[in-house]
Amino acid sequence: MEVIVFSHNLCYEGASISLKELVVGLMHRGVIAPRIVAFEDGALRAEYEALGIPVQVLPGILHKVSTCKRLDIEVARLASLVQESGVELVFVNTLLNFPAILAAECAGVPSVWNPRESEPWDSYFRFLPDPVAQRAISAIGLPKKVVFVAHATRKVWADFDVQRSFEVVHNGIDLDRFPLRHDAAERVRCRNALGLEARSIAILCVGTFCDRKGQGDLIEAFASLPEAISSRVQMLLVGDDRSRYADALKERCRSLPDIVRSSIRFFPSTESIASFYSAADLFVLSSKVESFPRVILEAMAFGLPIITTPVFGVLEQVMEGENALLYPPGESHLLARQIEQLVRNDELRLQMAQNSLRRISQITTFDEMVDAYSNIFREAVHGTQNANITSG
């Protein structure tokens, strides 16, 4: 099946990495012959091309669609691209790529949409003029299937499921990407490379630095810890830091006492994220909004105890009190208590680590996810009856 896949970017971000793993998994199963169209270049381009998957990068178009007329022009260009490619299906990642859904409809090619955002439908597109935002919202009714990654996210859009085309497929991650995740010698090597002492507790937070991810809460929590705790802790913040929010975080850190400031370290997003998980003792997700965050799955795969906000699909991933402690978004004083509890209590931390390994084995696997999308793609192109025959 020839498929054109629209990605909002090719950066090392959760949604883009998950998309790439899914596309490669489907290709290796012989389900699709993909080509990628992205609106921002990035390091994943080389990974796609190394696998023989063609990639085309187009200039971002969202800044060009200030009116419905201009939106129509951009949609027509994308529709021509879809028609000329001769594909059987258009697969679109994230809500931001709504013009690609409109283009598929214009080209007469079936589409599948994979929203990965959980913001309310009536506020997410506020950055667009109202008439354009209305077109973006109405696009949710066009695809053959809309596949959400969490039930909580599907619920946000539930009133729009008039065609009964909505489904939920939880993300699964390709654990083969982390072959040394349980290797004790690799953990020692990674900790040494980061200059972590044997007695120190490394707290890891992974994600683009932005207000939605709420890393400021983690900085404030760390700043309020008793010295007996903060002196044992190293905080590792990993993510794309090209933002004013990141600059503000770093400025806040510079105002902290030396002993605290020296324990907070920033790292750019990297393909070698496994080394940070291997070195860590504890994972924190401080986000205000998420859908089914990949980083939680990765943290569990590496056997890390988790402190997280209970937002949307996160509650479909973790087990409160077993492998995760929860705190309300923005409540940095409660986050500080959770950190202190796990730093002081080695036994609890280790038990929760074991529970994370158990939990990752209980939820959707990578193979199960790929199977589900295989059936969805076939049904979108061939219809239910033919899809069942093909997959049988």
Q: Residues 61, 168: one domain?
A: yes
Please tell me whether residues 272 and 186 are part of one structural domain.
Answer: yes
CA distances from 153 to 139, 173, 193, 258, 307 (A): 17, 19, 39, 42, 21
Q: How many distinct structural domains can be found in the chain? A: 2
Please check whether residues 49 and 90 belong to one and the same domain. Answer: yes
Same domain, 252 and 140: no
Indicate if 228 and 164 belong to the same structural domain: no
Distance between CA atoms of residues 233 and 278, nearest Å: 16
Do 93 and 196 belong to one domain?
A: no
> 3-state secondary structure string, 123-178?
HHCCCCCHHHHHHHHHHHHCCCEEEECCHHHHHHCHHHCCCCCEEECCCCCCHHHC
pLDDT at residue 385, as a whole number: 43
Residues 149 and 192 in one domain: no
Output the pLDDT for position 390: 33
Question: In terms of residue numbers, what domain contains 294?
Answer: 176-360
pLDDT digit string (tens) for the chain, length 392 residues: 999 999 999 999 899 999 999 999 999 999 999 999 999 999 999 999 999 999 999 988 888 899 999 999 999 999 999 999 999 999 999 999 999 999 999 999 999 999 999 999 999 999 999 999 999 999 999 999 999 999 999 999 999 999 999 999 999 999 999 999 999 999 999 999 999 998 999 999 999 999 999 999 999 999 999 999 999 999 999 998 888 999 999 999 999 998 889 999 999 989 899 999 999 999 999 999 999 999 999 999 999 999 999 999 999 999 999 999 999 999 999 999 999 999 999 999 999 999 999 999 999 999 999 999 999 999 999 985 444 433 32
Which residue in the block uniquely carries the two structure tokens 């079936």?
110
At 388 the pLDDT is 40
Whether 107 and 229 share a structural domain: no
In the block, residue with structure tokens 């324990």: 263
Q: What is the domain-level CATH number for residue 84?
A: 3.40.50.2000
Write out the DSSP string of 194-254: TT--TTPEEEEEES--SGGGTHHHHHHHHHTS-HHHHTTEEEEEES---SHHHHHHHHHHH
Q: Cα separation of 328 and 314, whole Å?
A: 12
Q: What is the pLDDT of residues 247-276, one digit of tens each?
A: 999 999 999 998 889 999 999 989 899 999
pLDDT tens for 285-342 read 999 999 999 999 999 999 999 999 999 999 999 999 999 999 999 999 999 999 999 9
Q: How many CA atoms lie within 13 A of 4 on its CB side?
A: 26
Residues 154 and 184 in one domain: no
The answer to whether residues 120 and 11 belong to one domain is: yes
Q: Are 249 and 283 in contact (CB under 8 A)?
A: no
